[in-house]
Structure 1
Amino acid sequence: MPNRDDGAEHEGVARSTERGDRDANPRSLRTGRRTFLKGSAATIGASAIPAAATGVAGEESSESGAERVDIARSSEGMVSTVHPQATEVGAEVLRDGGNAIDAAVATQFALNVVQPHSSGIGGGGFMVVYIAEEDELYTVDNRERAPLGANAEMFLDDEGEPIPFDERITLGEAVGVPGTLRATDVATKRYGTRYIDELIEPAIELASGERRVTVDEYLAGAIEEEKGKFNDAARERFAPGGEALDAGDELVQEDLAETFRLIRDEGIGALYGGEIGEAVADVVQDNGGSMTVDDLARYNVTIDTPEYGEYENVAVRTQPLPSSGGLTIAQILKLIEAFDLGGYERESAETFHALIEAFHLAYADRGAFMGDKAFADAPWQGLLDEEYLEERRGRITFDEATTANAEPGDPWAYQPGNPYRVRAPGEGTEGIDVDATERMAAADRSTADRGQTTHFTTADSEGNLVSWTTTIEQLFGTGIVVPEYGFFLNNELTDFDAVPGGPNEVAPTKRPLSSTSPTIVFSDGEPVFTVGSPGGTTIITTVAQIIQNVVEYDMDLAEAIAAPRIYADADPTVFYEPDVPADLRERLHELGHELAEEPSELGNVQALLVDRETGEYVGAADYRRNGSVIGL
């Protein structure tokens, strides 16, 4: 470890004091249990003007840095999403007396309309919920599951080789049994104050054209890029006559509005066994899949306990397996914690080098050991064992970069007991080179899993919080719209390893490994901030960097979100954002890092912070897309 620059450390202290009181940060949040200003007229930042869409990565903006991040303050409630109209729907629910869970559910339905390429009732996700009255934290796991007809070799061709990813994502076999709609029902009944027949109404108005919706720049670009994989029903709506809808075009989705009316009138059974479910099963089978109405009818969510990780003076609570986010974020943060990177500038070669090397090591372990915990045991204690972390950390030298694919360690040597299952029930391992399949699977994911999702967060005056990441996997999922029902179907089963033999191989009813990481960070047992992002495997590194920025570098939310990000996995290639300084890139290159030829935007963060000194929320929405935040 090289000597730190004391001047840089002093500059960091000065920087944190110059920011004033725009946001609180965990190091100053050492007060007692917070008191929310219920019913108070002292509401700061009643709303915020939505940030403009940035369009193409690297496009010039008249603003720079934290000024581009949409910020709002309020003691009564907060909603932050990727789209202004979805944000407004959530805020309406809060104004009408609903709680944070009600607002989140209404927001999800609205996002299905205004962001059809990223999420919807044809997909799934993970929701982390904090219930203030109980002082309890829950996760609602609504990850898609493989149908009973799925098998471990379904993504191999006749020669036993993986079907190319771009082809694989369009197949009926790629569609997992969707969980989002079931999650809305379970969440409102367990934690909400309203029912979905009321909360779905704003989405009906948006889809039918009663509330005017137009195509934004990001959606227009996505349609143009992905229209080649659309089925006829998708093409008719989003690229009529082969011409993609343009930014500013009105978007009316009457078939989706009618689907929502069916759900309003008949309940979620319309999808999970009823008329809509029959249409889903039919179109999946027409495209080569095996899903049946019975697969839909047997689907249910899982209520779980969030993963727990410690970093500096905070506890990081996020989704457990089958999302790899919880364990991998925790491992990354523990790997870098010992380096005391706060002594360096955030945009220094030392900080970025340590992050990249930690990413390499953590992703190697992720690819080798993680899968659906109902099917494959993961060495979760071993991965976070201090001796194992020290062993892995010892592989990081500040003199040069790792230039080969990172190899997994042996966390089982630090884990009590042995794995209870690494194969699907009834299947053996004869003839399978597990080490080889792990490497092939990791390589397959590293090149393919850059999918998109959407993240949003809500809070209410009672202190309830929701951090929810929802997805259909790639942009527009499979590209298959359910004919006459108007929603896209996910391609989540391509998150399984195409090559059988590892913990993330395909099996009936199994959930594929995810990177989704809806997170709530705690200090002294109290919630400090929520954070999450879309971006496939890049979600993990995005969330980890935001946490590091707030906790290690004392940044406020706007600064933490605006700071340029990097991404790397087990592969040597390092991806970077346009705002990473040229001299920093050159220094990383000198250390031996293999930087991507061109920059790319990484993630799109929605977050909110609890200012325990004032009882207010500080909400933030990333400028990288059309994000907006509203405080009541």
Structure 2
Amino acid sequence: MTMDHIWKNQQNHSDKQHARGYKGMTASATEEASTIGADILAKGGNAMDAIVAMQFALAVSEPFNTGLAASGFIMYYDAETKKTSVVNGHSIAPKNAHKNVFVDEHQDVIPFLERSTPGTAVAVPGILKGMEKALNEFGTMSWADVIEPAIALSEKGVRVNLTWNTGLQRFSDRLGEKAKAFFYPNDVPLTEGETVVNEELTKTLQILQSKGADAFYKGEIADKIIETVQSFDGFMQKDDLTAYEATVSEAITGTYKEYTIAVPAPPNGGGFALLYMLKMLEKLDIGQYGLRSWEKYYLLAEVMRIMTADKLAFMGDPSFYNIPLNGLLTEDYIKERLKLLNFKFRNEDVTEGNPWPYDDQEPHNKAASTTEPGPDTTHFIAVDERGNIAACTSSLEHFFGSGIMVPGYGFLLNNDMTDFDPDPAGLNSVESGKYPVSMKTPTIVFKDADPVLTLGSPGGPTIPASVLQTMIHVLDFGLDLKEAIEEPRIYNGTGPLIWQEEGIPEEAKQTLERMNYQFDSIALSIGNVQAVLLNPETGERIGGSDSSRPGIPVANQ
């Protein structure tokens, strides 16, 4: 499918979750954040200025999925230098963290809710240092100016939307006492349509505006974070915060047909997962099958299972263990792994392979990990008139993070330590000063060195699957961008169970069930894709937001 054909298939939609324009474009999971980002672009800011402003706006408008104590990866494409960089603002284990934190005295893994809500679940948050680093290296506006719109939004208050409702209905058992008092004023849950004002968060944003990120990592906010975490028996100490630094590196790239795909490198596991699955699907020529054929879903399911087996076995923090990234992505290894597919039944023998002979590093002897990260995150994008692109996936890890709200400052703490494998023997097990594996997958797609698509999603282990399917819906099946986002997706881990969105044909499901797959009895939303399609020849941009949340794209006219 050529880009000309893809653009001919783009439609004009009347709904708010689709936008077209020739200047700046933003997209996020909340209307407030997208509008603030677009306003920054309209004032002459670049894509990175807008993305930093949007992170602060999301801390106000989507405080249960991201916030000041979140982690994240930021991709930045510089239209002048043609370089794509990654800012790593991922959370890291405190220095006093230890391998046995998530097992009991019998070495049995502690149940998830019990291990995900105490202070020991809180990792050293990186998003503010990441945003500061990103703004200093790639932005054009001041820290104070990009925070100002979020302060105004926080003072005015935000309208409670369906995402708030859903979270309170499903995950309120995660809330600590302070957080419950905010989300359940007078013991009554906030409901859709209400306007909520978080005065403590407003105060915190004002402190950050005047004193910078150091107030969070070294000053009064840092002191309160440590006091709070330790009151919940956490490991974090003040010097964990003061020592944290975000890093900048070049994106890693892979190819899919005539396209080049730029993603973050490990300890980000989502980028590897996407490149790995694309290499497999390219050899399988998935576009030859029908959009809703059983063959398409079969290929997706098995490719996800094979990738997950290798991801759990080989992805970790490269500062601690060798990661055979080159071996995993070589043509010969991919061909070997493709032998697991048979088109007749679900292969029960899908386990990790052996990429080490295809890599130039010494093998490690660590056990495979056994768990995958959690499901609740947010993704947002800004493209400026000059063609610079910033895309960020940031997260508190699970809905409401640890459920611990910092008293007097109005923000939730992450539970990013649950990104680690609780098994002390695992490759991705807890170790002092270690990054857990993250599946965040901010992605930029290039054709002939020009960016043509950028996208990402929340969803923990499902993130690469959502990005993958949206990509092939555009690049292989030629769908309109909004239709590509809405086309029903599936997710499969290593077992027989397939998660499904509404709309997977019964005939395809029955065929796969006869092949020994199982479908979850309830259809559910998988991810929340935000995407921008770019036309290098005309300069036109199309933005699309996923209907699973109330976000919108905004085009500067």
TM (normalized to structure 1)? 0.85
Q: What secondary structure does 1:200 align onto?
A: helix
Partner in structure 2 of residue 35 of structure 1: none
2:489 to 552, 565, 576: 565
Q: What secondary structure does 2:84 align onto?
A: strand
Partner in structure 1 of residue 89 of structure 2: 142
- 1:396 offset after TM fit, Å? 0.3
- 1:344 offset after TM fit, Å? 1.2
2:278 and 2:409 map into 1 onto residues whose CA distance is 44
Partner in structure 2 of residue 418 of structure 1: 362
Q: What secondary structure does 1:129 align onto?
A: strand
Is 1:346 the counterpart of 2:291 in the alignment?
yes
The one-letter amino acid of 2:110's match is I
Partner in structure 2 of residue 261 of structure 1: 206
Cα distance change of structure 1 residues 317 and 195 upon mapping to structure 2, 3 Å threshold: same
Cα distance change of structure 1 residues 578 and 403 upon mapping to structure 2, 3 Å threshold: farther
- 1:293 offset after TM fit, Å? 1.3
Partner in structure 2 of residue 425 of structure 1: none
2:189 and 2:143 map into 1 onto residues whose CA distance is 33
2:543 and 2:5 map into 1 onto residues whose CA distance is 21
State how 1:312-391 maps to structure 2 within 5 Å: 312-391=257-336
State how 1:571-582 maps to structure 2 within 5 Å: 571-582=495-506
Is 1:171 the counterpart of 2:118 in the alignment?
yes
- 1:76 offset after TM fit, Å? 1.2
The one-letter amino acid of 2:133's match is V
1:184 and 1:49 map into 2 onto residues whose CA distance is 34
The one-letter amino acid of 1:591's match is M
Residue-by-residue CA offset, 1:354-376 (whole Å, 9 max, x unaligned): 11111111100000011111112
2:224 to 267, 272, 279: 279
Percent identity among equivalent residues? 35
1:593 to 517, 525, 530: 517
Q: What secondary structure does 1:537 align onto?
A: helix
2:154 to 207, 228, 231: 207
Contact (CA 8 Å) 1:50, 1:84: kept in 2 or not? Answer: no
- 1:241 offset after TM fit, Å? 3.2
Contact (CA 8 Å) 1:360, 1:572: kept in 2 or not? Answer: no
Contact (CA 8 Å) 2:266, 2:316: kept in 1 or not? Answer: yes
Is 1:526 the counterpart of 2:477 in the alignment?
no
Q: Which has the larger radius of gyration?
A: 1
Contact (CA 8 Å) 2:208, 2:215: kept in 1 or not? Answer: yes
Q: What secondary structure does 2:159 align onto?
A: coil
- 1:501 offset after TM fit, Å? 2.1
Cα distance change of structure 1 residues 97 and 501 upon mapping to structure 2, 3 Å threshold: same
1:90 to 28, 31, 37: 37
Give the unaligned 5+ runs of structure 2. none
Cα distance change of structure 1 residues 17 and 495 upon mapping to structure 2, 3 Å threshold: closer
2:537 to 590, 593, 613: 613
Residue-by-residue CA offset, 1:64-118 (whole Å, 9 max, x unaligned): xxxxxx2211111000011111111111111111111111111110000010011
Residue-by-residue CA offset, 1:475-530 (whole Å, 9 max, x unaligned): 01000000100001000111101012232111111110011000001111111110
2:9 and 2:488 map into 1 onto residues whose CA distance is 23
Is 1:22 the counterpart of 2:19 in the alignment?
no
- 1:18 offset after TM fit, Å? 10
The one-letter amino acid of 1:20's match is K
Contact (CA 8 Å) 1:227, 1:244: kept in 2 or not? Answer: no
1:107 to 46, 51, 54: 54
- 1:608 offset after TM fit, Å? 0.5
Is 1:537 the counterpart of 2:461 in the alignment?
yes
2:21 to 74, 77, 81: 74
Cα distance change of structure 1 residues 370 and 334 upon mapping to structure 2, 3 Å threshold: same
- 1:460 offset after TM fit, Å? 0.5
The one-letter amino acid of 1:559's match is E
1:376 and 1:256 map into 2 onto residues whose CA distance is 39
State how 1:33-48 maps to structure 2 within 5 Å: none
Partner in structure 2 of residue 250 of structure 1: 195
- 1:627 offset after TM fit, Å? 1.7
1:494 to 395, 418, 436: 418
Cα distance change of structure 1 residues 480 and 602 upon mapping to structure 2, 3 Å threshold: same
Is 1:396 the counterpart of 2:384 in the alignment?
no
- 1:21 offset after TM fit, Å? 5.0
- 1:226 offset after TM fit, Å? 2.2
2:408 to 476, 484, 487: 484
2:234 to 289, 292, 295: 289
Residue-by-residue CA offset, 1:579-631 (whole Å, 9 max, x unaligned): 11112111211222122222111011001011123111111111111020110
Is 1:311 the counterpart of 2:299 in the alignment?
no
Q: Give the 4+ runs in structure 1 shifted more than 4 A.
A: 16-19, 48-51
1:461 and 1:206 map into 2 onto residues whose CA distance is 25
Residue-by-residue CA offset, 1:301-328 (whole Å, 9 max, x unaligned): 1111212111111111111111111111
Partner in structure 2 of residue 630 of structure 1: 554
Give the unaligned 5+ runs of structure 1. 1-11, 24-44, 52-69, 423-433
The one-letter amino acid of 1:102's match is D
- 1:49 offset after TM fit, Å? 7.3
- How many residues matched? 555
The one-letter amino acid of 1:534's match is P
2:186 and 2:175 map into 1 onto residues whose CA distance is 12
1:329 and 1:535 map into 2 onto residues whose CA distance is 14
Contact (CA 8 Å) 1:402, 1:572: kept in 2 or not? Answer: no
2:67 to 120, 135, 141: 120
2:314 and 2:45 map into 1 onto residues whose CA distance is 41
Q: What secondary structure does 1:338 align onto?
A: helix
1:112 and 1:603 map into 2 onto residues whose CA distance is 19
Q: Could you tell which deviates more after superposition, 337-346 or 123-132?
A: 337-346
The one-letter amino acid of 1:22's match is Q
1:274 and 1:49 map into 2 onto residues whose CA distance is 48
- 1:340 offset after TM fit, Å? 1.4
Q: What secondary structure does 2:398 align onto?
A: coil
